[in-house]
Amino acid sequence: MRVQSGLNPVDWKPMPVIGQGVREIGVRYRSQYRVFYIAEFSDAIYVLSAFIKKTQRTPKAEIDLARQ
């Protein structure tokens, strides 16, 4: 909801390794979830990938998928 309102989410970090303007949001609900998105456009938020995060490091396969 914060992203839709033009604000930064509470738990996020930039992901320049995926692309310019890409961010990772952390969501905690029973498990750890992550969402890669870009919201640099006024008309849309583009979700590039969403996954359950099981380790501290973001899996390379998830980074590669979001790049595609």
Question: What's the rounded Cα separation, in Å, for the pair 6 and 58?
Answer: 25
pTM of the complete model: 0.79
pLDDT band, very low/low/confident/very high, at 6 (cuts 50, 70, 90) = confident
Quote the mean pLDDT of the chain. Answer: 88
Residue 5 domain flag: no
3 within some domain? no
Residue 35 lies in a domain: yes
Q: Specify the pLDDT at position 22.
A: 93
Report if residue 6 sits inside a domain.
no
Q: Which residues, in sequence order, are CB contacts of 9 under 8 Å at separation 6+?
A: 2, 3, 23, 25
Identify the pLDDT of residue 54: 85
In the chain, the number of structural domains is 1
Contacts of 20 by beta carbon, 8 Å cutoff, 6+ apart: 40
The range of the structural domain enclosing residue 33 comes to 12-67
Is 30 a domain residue?
Answer: yes
Average pLDDT over residues 29-36: 88
| Measured distance CA(51)–CA(45) in Å, rounded | 17
